[in-house]
């Protein structure tokens, strides 16, 4: 039985009380991030992602939350990202893309908003975008070979890989000093304006991700190949960027 909430805010009071009961004063922050905070949440399909910020004492006693996490997973809440404040501030140079996208789409549910004041060094952000693009391209190539050319698995490869590209697109807009649009398609179009890539291919991938595309089965392989081509083109552009 699917017990996912219709709206993320529906569970805020209950999940807050549950975490306060387990961690007490060791609970510093409870922050929703991802699709639940961006307006792209789909009940029963989207996970709800929380950043749980704890004191050193709390982080040393995560076993106290075993039952809590298990219970909430049945209601569509993913295993939380548990960190201390020091973990957050010391990690933004190593994982700037992740923390930047988290900062873009987050809702403070309880306690201190530890994401609001974070600043990201452009060089670190560009380097991670380059590294992630190259990694995603390699995984796409490997994944394509693994499909054996079967159209269902090729379509699934596009679906599962696409979300990661959206995070990189948002970081690339930030590197241009631009405000990041809220909508997925607006992000794609703006990236295509700033970087010479074909928006149409990524828009098709967005439709496939959401299950609303009208791409014939006979054209799915061609879409995947174009997707790979444009990702490789973007990777070369980022490789030559100076920030």
Pair (126, 233) in one structural domain: yes
- pLDDT at 40 (0 to 100): 84
**C-alpha span between 163 and 210 (Å, rounded):** 11
Query: Which residues does 65 contact at the CB level (< 8 Å), separation at least 6?
Result: 19, 22, 23
Question: Residue 157 domain-assigned?
Answer: yes
Let me know whether 38 and 96 are in one domain. Answer: yes
Domain boundary among 111, 132, 165: 111
CA distance 52 to 73: 15
Tell me how far apart the alpha carbons of residues 21 and 2 are, in angstroms, rounded to a whole number.
25
Q: Please, what are the averages of pLDDT over each run of 10 residues along the chain (243 residues)?
A: 82 98 98 92 89 98 98 96 97 96 96 96 97 97 97 96 95 97 94 96 96 93 97 97 90
Clarify whether residues 49 and 157 are in a common domain: no
Structure token digits, residue 67: 């039952």
Question: What is the CATH number for 59?
Answer: 3.30.460.10
Q: How far apart are CA 77 and CA 48, in angstroms?
A: 5
For residue 52, give both structure tokens. 């749980």
* pLDDT value of position 2: 55
Between vectors from CA 41 to CA 229 and to CA 185, what angle results, nearest 5°? 35
Q: Do 101 and 145 belong together in one domain?
A: no
Q: What is the pTM of this model?
A: 0.90
Q: Which domain does 197 fall in, by range?
A: 122-239
Q: Is residue 12 one of the residues assigned to a domain?
A: yes
Q: Is 66 exposed, middle or buried (0-12, 13-18, 19+ CB in 10 A)?
A: exposed
pLDDT of residue 1: 44
Number of domains making up the chain: 2
């Amino acid at each position: 039985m699917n017990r996912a909430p219709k709206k993320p805010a529906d569970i805020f009071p209950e999940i807050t009380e549950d975490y306060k009961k387990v961690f007490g004063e060791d609970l510093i922050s409870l922050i929703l991030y991802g699709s639940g905070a961006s307006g792209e949440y789909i009940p029963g399909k989207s996970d709800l992602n929380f950043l749980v910020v704890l004191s050193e004492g709390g982080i040393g006693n995560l076993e106290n939350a075993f039952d809590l996490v298990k219970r909430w997973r049945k209601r569509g809440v993913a295993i939380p990202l548990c960190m201390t404040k020091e973990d957050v501030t010391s990690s933004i140079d190593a994982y700037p893309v992740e923390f930047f996208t988290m900062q873009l789409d987050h809702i403070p549910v309880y306690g201190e908003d530890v994401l609001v004041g974070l600043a990201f060094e452009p060089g670190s952000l560009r380097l991670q975008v380059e590294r992630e693009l190259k990694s995603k391209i390699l995984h796409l190539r490997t994944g394509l070979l693994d499909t054996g050319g079967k159209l269902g698995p090729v379509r699934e490869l596009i679906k599962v890989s696409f979300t990661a590209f959206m995070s990189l697109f948002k970081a690339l807009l930030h590197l241009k000093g631009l405000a990041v649009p809220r909508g997925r398609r607006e992000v794609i179009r703006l990236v295509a304006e700033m970087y010479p890539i074909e928006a149409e291919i990524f828009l098709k991938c967005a439709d496939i991700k959401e299950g609303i595309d009208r791409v014939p089965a006979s054209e799915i392989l061609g879409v995947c190949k174009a997707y790979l081509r444009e990702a490789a083109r973007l990777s070369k552009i980022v490789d030559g960027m100076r920030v």
